[in-house]
Structure 1
Amino acid sequence: MFVGEVRQQRVSRMRGFRRWRWHLDEMYVKLNGEMVYLWRAVDHEGEILESYVTKTRDKDAALRFMNKALKRHGSPEAITTDGLRSYRAAMNELGNAGKKEVGRWANNRVENSHLSFRQRERAMLRFRRMKSLQKFASIHATVHNHFNLERHLVSRKIYKERRSAALAEWRSLAS
């Protein structure tokens, strides 16, 4: 219940931002010995915008994922992806082909966002059902965004203040 409220507040703050850049990527997740794909959208600040689980990695899956993200978060100024052809086909169909950027290290923002998910995945000893994976991915993204305070950009004092404020807000939401 509180996860949706936190997400709504973050989305409403970001809608007015003009130079919004997205980074899109998909990763393999093992589900009962079968590989499924977790599609993720991350903004220019490293916040996870959207997570979507599919069994395929084709144009239709990319199109559903991008439609979901665009509907919820609005249209960005630029979308950075890896070289997967499904993105290009989906963006051509959506009419966003001019916003697409592909570069060798341009998509590191989203690649690094997978690391925290992988740590939790190992701690949970994998997933059993697609529904539980989707639910975990979306909740993990919201919790990660709440506590992602960009330690490398601020001094220790400011970081500690922000961390304690985030923890106090979390406790008030959880109680």
Structure 2
Amino acid sequence: MFERLDLPRLKGFRFPRSIISYAVWAYHRFALSTADVEDLLAERGISVSRETIRKWVNRFGRHFARCIRRDRPKPNAKWHLDEVVIVIGGVKYWLWRAIDGDGDVLDILIESRRNAKAARHFFGVLVTQFGEPRVVVTDKLRSYTKPVRALAPDADHRAHKGLNNRIENSHRPTRKREKIMGRFKSPRQVQRFLSAHDQIKTIFRPRRYQLSALSYRHSRADAFGLWLDYTDEMNA
């Protein structure tokens, strides 16, 4: 990614946009802390503080996530919805997550409640973005029933915990990052981080077990190509 040093420099930034985008990519692509990214850059002769990297991640992670959402193909019409508790400062919050039938994250939302109002809010955001699904798979939480019936009346709603293993597995990377980050500090931080992280992870982690070696290399090259295009679109 460093070979594109010819990209225009961002106004007000000391480092080229290719270095900034590399830091954002490394942070989200691997289970790294800002200190780890600082060391990666230092090994390449680039001296930048972890606090600066944190600001880059917060600011430009949103940019890359928006670009990925804009260009992503229409998602699979089968959706899996689930919610998991996250403790922030000793207070319980609920992370609502939706993925499609291919395992790609549609969206996430942090709420203080696990009730019908929160379920309707989250499901309404999804329907607004992607249209009505064909199938909705949830656990046995009754709060989903009325929102699904009201917002996607033609959808086949399957409420069975055993059918939702796919999304249960999608929570694991979040738990891993939570541990690396020393727990999340605020609901806003969780929403900002995961909204970017889940989207970036989607294009750089294709289901390798389903691809031949050649197909995987092509998929990875396409992802890097997209990342360079999105780097070129970065604005100060």
Q: What's the TM-score once normalised by structure 2's chain length?
A: 0.67
Report if aligned partners of 1:25, 1:40 keep a CA contact under 8 Å in 2: yes
In 1: Cα distance, 2:125 partner to 2:187 partner: 18
Question: Does 2:198 align with 1:137?
Answer: no
Aligned twin of 1:46: 103
Q: Which amino acid aligns with 2:74?
A: M
In the alignment, the residues of structure 1 paired with residue 140 and residue 154 of structure 2 have an alpha-carbon distance, to the nearest angstrom, of: 14
Cα distance change of structure 1 residues 57 and 8 upon mapping to structure 2, 3 Å threshold? same
2:205, 2:71 → 1: CA distance?
A: 16
CA contact (8 A) 1:91 1:97 kept: no
> Aligned pairs, how many?
170
1:16-58 CA deviation, whole Å, 9 max, x = no partner? xxx6100000011111111100101100000000100000000
Q: Tell me the residue number matched to 2:149.
A: 92
* Structure 2 Cα separation of the partners of residues 35 and 115 of structure 1: 18
8 Å Cα contact 2:127-2:151 kept in structure 1: no
Question: Does the alignment pair 1:64 with 2:121?
Answer: yes
SS of match in other structure, 1:61: helix
Q: Deviations over 1:40-83 (max 9, x none)?
A: 11000000001000000000000000000100111110100010
Is the 8 Å Cα contact of residues 69 and 199 (structure 2) preserved in structure 1? yes
Could you tell me whether the CA contact under 8 Å between 2:64 and 2:200 is conserved in 1?
Answer: no
Distance in 2 of aligned mates of 1:91 and 1:20: 14
* Greater radius of gyration (CA): 2
Separation in structure 2 between the aligned mates of residue 96 and residue 50 of structure 1, nearest angstrom:
21
Greater share of strand: 1
Q: Which moved more, 1:108-117 or 1:70-79?
A: 108-117
Shift in alpha-carbon separation, 1:89–1:79, aligned structure 2, 3 A: same
Q: Of 69, 84, 87, which aligns to 1:7?
A: 69
Contact 2:77–2:133 (Cα < 8 Å) also in 1: yes
Partner residue in 2 for 1:106? 163
Q: Which amino acid is 2:140 matched to? A: G
| Counterparts of 2:200 and 2:66, CA distance in 1 | 11
Give the direction of change, closer, same or farther, for the CA distance of 1:155–1:95 in structure 2 (3 Å limit).
Answer: closer
**Considering only aligned residues, what root-mean-square deviation do their CA atoms show, in Å?**
1.8
After TM superposition, the score normalised by the length of structure 1 is 0.89
Alpha-carbon distance in structure 2 between the residues aligned to 1:98 and 1:44 = 14
Q: Structure 2, unaligned stretches of length 5 or more?
A: 1-62
- The match for 2:82 is 25
What SS class does the counterpart of residue 94 from structure 2 fall into? strand
